[in-house]
Structure 1
Amino acid sequence: MADRNLRALLAPWVEQAPERALREMTLDSRVAAAGDLFVAVVGHAADGRRFIPQAIAQGVAAIIAEADGVAEDGCVREQHGVPVVYLSRLNERLSALAGRFYCQPGDDVQLIGVTGTNGKTTTTQLLAQWAQLLGARGAVMGTVGNGLLGQVYPSENTTGSAVEVQHRLRNLADAGATLVAMEVSSHGLVQNRVLALPFAASVFTNLSRDHLDYHGDMAQYEQAKWRLFSTHHSGEKIINADDEVGRRWLAKLPDAVAVTLTDALPQDWPGRWLAARSVTYHDGGATIDIDSSWGSATLHSRLMGEFNVSNLLVALATLLALGYPLAALSAVSGQLQPVCGRMEVFQAAGKPTVVVDYAHTPDALEKALLAARLHCQGQLWCLFGCGGDRDTGKRPLMGAIAEQYADRVVVTDDNPRSEEPRSIINDILSGMLDPGSVQAIPGRAEAVTAAIMQAAPQDVILVAGKGHEDYQLVGNRRLDYSDRVTVARLLGVVA
């Protein structure tokens, strides 16, 4: 690759960087190897410059490090024969640096960024599936994993580091992807991990309470999400007008596409739009009549619940804005598959219906319960917990929501991490009016078993919080555990 040379790589920022052939680019000194470029950033938790000696000992070819102020910007020094180039604002420049290193992979695919508290995973999967049904080669990057459809590998974070994002994009482009739908987290936006990416479209799903342990308050959380539409390169902008924040943003984005399930278009909206005119829910999903700037159509969805109709409409509007024809999109809508661990339905004769979902915020839990209620003939059960060492303020809120919207509630462990499980459960119960009516069963597998054994065949059990995850974090251990596998085993079906 042309820019895998230190001088060529740094040409926009440094006049006379040394000539050095480079093998790979990494932020992790532990995996740096002979011939690599080690980038020493000052991060949220650690100063990468502390690990320069380790990287040199492992044979790296060159190092780029955060400068101590503007005066040091562009300076080149040698340590043990290894050039160390100092750049100021390295975190901001890293996405562009990695883009040059991997030969601008974003230019080789149609890249869609999806941000919002809930719905990112489902929306990205729908985008990639839908485009692939019409001839594209779809790929996803996000919470569930990264890869071509059908070849998705697990990921640690929703949005990887700036280097990982560009590297994965290059691998996807080289593997034949033509459309990549990427989840963009608020952390990733604040930390400039996608700053240099050329998004063909940027999508906003919704905003509700989450990650306040990181952002501090809702205003800062909203500002983090807004970055995708204000400081990043974005072609088309697709905004959910049913969300209060979305409506506020539309006032600043007259060229955006406004999408609504509830006829919530801003008054006298001058731009493009897409709206649901009628929605019919049934056992197999939903039938949706839509009207839009591109015409009218009927969609057939196999996904459960109102919020998944919203995700579907946002995905449809995005592909329409990118030039896909409405008639073709609507014709294949019934072929779109539900997403693993997102309102995923498990059924067996004579047993209750179980829905496994990733809902782990107050808003997501409320929406999941409302969605399950649409398809429930008997009692609605809610089984959930809250993660340890995370936003404690949402625990009583989720307890109150479960009590309000479910007929029966089972509170259990999620990922307790270093916290005492019973303490987390007590925090959840503190938000309830009648905690005595709730079953508190700390072991998650035991809780799922108890709910399925007690529920009637006409009941629906929402098992919320872990979704696709196949592990549980208890203390400092990562245990093998999957809601999907547990439920499938108890019902005698295949996960």
Structure 2
Amino acid sequence: MTSPARMRPQHPATHRVVDLAETFALVVPPDATPLDEALTATGVTVSSADVADGDVFVAVPGLKVHGATYAAQAVAAGAVVVVTDAAGAVLVRGAGLSVPVLVSPDPRELAGPLAAHVHGHPGRDLVTVGVTGTNGKTTTTYFVDAALRAAHATTAVLGTVELKVGDEAVESPRTTVEAPALQGILALARERGAGAVAMEVSSHALALGRVRGLTFDVVGFTNLQRDHLDFHGDMDGYFRDKARLFAPEQARRGVVVVDDEWGRRLAATSPIPVETVATHVGDPVGDDADWAVVAADIGLDGVGSTFTLRGPDGARHEAASPLPGLVNVSNAALAIVLARAAGVELATAIDAVAHAHEIPGRMERVVERGDGFPLGLVDYAHTPDALVLALEAVRPITPGRLVLVFGSDGDRDQGKRPIMGQIAARLADVLVVTDENPRSEDPAAIRAAILEGVRAERPSGTDVHEATSRAQAIRDALALATDQDTVIITGKGHEPTQEIAGVFHRYNDRDVLLAVRAESTRARAESHA
């Protein structure tokens, strides 16, 4: 697989390192190798594994290991200079490297602006849209990209699922890549004639400066729900990091969904101009949001949702989401307003979003109902609120029982596990509790915490099953279901791997679901032969 950090322009600009040092006030330590006036650089990276010839290697302090520990590998791979802090400079000197070292008090904060400068600030030549929030970032970003593609011949979409420039795509290692990799991708997009970029911006990325050096034309906020509290501490800390995207140096204008208290708080305190979007099931009488959404059919046809979008001028526009559920009405409306703010005609944006392609792992219809098989869906819902929204969205399109396969991540917020169990027991009929990404934790302990919540809601334990293998959980779910039922597999969505005891195994819910269906079909055929 191509590394995201290798998605760079084929014809990069060349910069003298002495000029970079002067521009960014980088200091040469007294005992370090002096800078050669002729030394040049063509790229930037924070990963020694992704160094290309001519790179500046920015060695940042990590939670456990300082990046300067890997300076020797970076130099061997072609790095021409190391930029780090004082502690990192000591490590480089201790390794006996003769490569020039430049010191910055905060190399992590510097990485984005430095990479943007080296690549000629590519974001300034593109229409840039960023989307943040707990749930709905991926869906909204793909909806925005659909609208941007209706107005631009070539676009890029960057997020949790993939990093895609035009027709070239690679798997994404995280929701928002490191700052130098991001600037390289933007430069590649510009080189290939892209006119616009839509991207997801995670709270981790905002806290760690991964989008520094880029000022978005417009940014959007979906919602804020319990997640990542192991990193942010509490909901207020989580909100503060999300709100960083709405700083004047980070974005010019914003669009905020005000369906929860956090959206309303962001809209009220944002230092940049924002438009607001509110979602309703009934008539929005008295609503003072700039854009009011009235959902008419939230997926009862089994596929999409229709709604009316009332604009600031009072005009009403008929619109649709290709995905079921009220949450996807909200995502579609946000995407339409974001696209409009990014220069796409409103009617064009509405039509493009309504016809957006299926999004991997987001209410993805993998197996259709019929021939004795249930409707089989894969969805990324991995937070309590997202699970509620997913189950509520598919209940109206389920004639029989709702069968849920789910788990919870290891090494993440442990408090949400029993909450997820309670929600599942309340809203689904049949539960198959299994593993998600246990990481370094004992998978049985994670399942036990979930089952504790299940028992609190359903003491009888009726229709509650446990599977130690995720693939087996899917087999069990299909075996338990009829063609009147719906099987929804949540938590991993598009993810191509499962992390167990620190090892990444190739695994995908969609692939397993299709394989199990094929196995069942063959077994039926053989039994009738």
TM-score w.r.t. structure 2 length? Answer: 0.85
Once the two structures are TM-superposed, the CA of residue 92 in structure 1 deviates from its matched residue by: 1.7
Partner of 2:386: 364
Query: Does the 8 Å contact 2:244/2:250 carry over to 1?
Result: no
Partner of 1:394: 416
After superposition, residues 283-298 of structure 1 pair within 5 angstroms as 283-293=302-312, 295-298=315-318
Once the two structures are TM-superposed, the CA of residue 300 in structure 1 deviates from its matched residue by: 2.8
Separation of aligned partners in 1, 2:284 and 2:273: 14
Q: Secondary structure at the match of 2:436?
A: coil
Query: Which of 213, 222, 245 lines up with 1:196 in the alignment?
Result: 213
Q: Which moved more, 1:187-196 or 1:128-137?
A: 128-137
Cα-to-partner distance string for 1:282-324 (whole Å, 9 max, x where unaligned): 2231111111126321113321211111110100111122232
Partner of 1:13: 24
Shift of the 195–258 alpha-carbon distance from structure 1 to 2, 3 Å rule, reads same
Query: Which of 481, 497, 506 lines up with 1:455 in the alignment?
Result: 481
After superposition, residues 54-453 of structure 1 pair within 5 angstroms as 54-56=73-75, 60-67=79-86, 81-148=98-165, 150-230=167-247, 232-253=249-270, 255-262=273-280, 269=288, 273-280=290-297, 281=299, 282-293=301-312, 295-345=315-365, 346-350=367-371, 351-432=373-454, 433=456, 434=458, 436-437=461-462, 438-453=464-479
Separation of aligned partners in 2, 1:219 and 1:313: 26
Separation of aligned partners in 1, 2:351 and 2:202: 32
Separation of aligned partners in 2, 1:159 and 1:372: 29
Once the two structures are TM-superposed, the CA of residue 457 in structure 1 deviates from its matched residue by: 1.0
Q: Secondary structure at the match of 1:152?
A: strand
Once the two structures are TM-superposed, the CA of residue 369 in structure 1 deviates from its matched residue by: 0.6
Runs of 4+ aligned structure 1 residues displaced above 6 Å come to 263-268
Query: Does the 8 Å contact 1:238/1:259 carry over to 2?
Result: yes
Query: Which of 48, 55, 69 lines up with 1:29 in the alignment?
Result: 48
Query: Does the 8 Å contact 2:127/2:342 carry over to 1?
Result: no
Shift of the 348–381 alpha-carbon distance from structure 1 to 2, 3 Å rule, reads closer
Structure 1 residue 47 corresponds to structure 2 residue 66: yes
Alignment-mate amino acid for residue 28 of structure 1: S
Query: Does the 8 Å contact 2:382/2:491 carry over to 1?
Result: yes
Cα-to-partner distance string for 1:69-107 (whole Å, 9 max, x where unaligned): 9xx9xxx9xx76532111122222221101011111111
Alignment-mate amino acid for residue 275 of structure 2: V
Shift of the 320–36 alpha-carbon distance from structure 1 to 2, 3 Å rule, reads closer
Shift of the 34–278 alpha-carbon distance from structure 1 to 2, 3 Å rule, reads closer
Separation of aligned partners in 2, 1:13 and 1:123: 36
Separation of aligned partners in 1, 2:440 and 2:486: 32
Separation of aligned partners in 2, 1:319 and 1:23: 33
Q: Secondary structure at the match of 1:429?
A: helix
Once the two structures are TM-superposed, the CA of residue 13 in structure 1 deviates from its matched residue by: 2.5
Once the two structures are TM-superposed, the CA of residue 186 in structure 1 deviates from its matched residue by: 0.7
Query: Does the 8 Å contact 2:411/2:439 carry over to 1?
Result: yes
Q: Secondary structure at the match of 1:337?
A: coil
Once the two structures are TM-superposed, the CA of residue 477 in structure 1 deviates from its matched residue by: 2.6
Q: Secondary structure at the match of 1:431?
A: helix
Q: Secondary structure at the match of 1:427?
A: helix
TM-score w.r.t. structure 1 length? Answer: 0.91
Q: Secondary structure at the match of 1:239?
A: strand
Query: Does the 8 Å contact 1:241/1:265 carry over to 2?
Result: no
Alignment-mate amino acid for residue 40 of structure 1: A
Once the two structures are TM-superposed, the CA of residue 223 in structure 1 deviates from its matched residue by: 0.6
Shift of the 155–82 alpha-carbon distance from structure 1 to 2, 3 Å rule, reads same
* Residue correspondences, number: 485
Shift of the 34–177 alpha-carbon distance from structure 1 to 2, 3 Å rule, reads closer
Query: Does the 8 Å contact 1:402/1:409 carry over to 2?
Result: yes
Unaligned runs of 5+ in 1: none
Cα-to-partner distance string for 1:114-135 (whole Å, 9 max, x where unaligned): 1111111111111111221334
Shift of the 459–232 alpha-carbon distance from structure 1 to 2, 3 Å rule, reads farther
Cα-to-partner distance string for 1:223-253 (whole Å, 9 max, x where unaligned): 1101111264212200011121001111124
Separation of aligned partners in 2, 1:401 and 1:274: 31
Query: Does the 8 Å contact 1:376/1:459 carry over to 2?
Result: yes
Once the two structures are TM-superposed, the CA of residue 138 in structure 1 deviates from its matched residue by: 2.4
Once the two structures are TM-superposed, the CA of residue 154 in structure 1 deviates from its matched residue by: 0.5
Separation of aligned partners in 2, 1:11 and 1:286: 55
Alignment-mate amino acid for residue 248 of structure 1: R
Separation of aligned partners in 2, 1:34 and 1:334: 45
Separation of aligned partners in 2, 1:264 and 1:228: 32
Separation of aligned partners in 1, 2:237 and 2:398: 38
Once the two structures are TM-superposed, the CA of residue 58 in structure 1 deviates from its matched residue by: 5.3
What percentage of aligned pairs have identical amino acids? 37
Shift of the 245–139 alpha-carbon distance from structure 1 to 2, 3 Å rule, reads same
Cα-to-partner distance string for 1:312-344 (whole Å, 9 max, x where unaligned): 010011112223222222334432122111011
Shift of the 414–276 alpha-carbon distance from structure 1 to 2, 3 Å rule, reads same
Alignment-mate amino acid for residue 155 of structure 2: G
Separation of aligned partners in 2, 1:5 and 1:91: 21
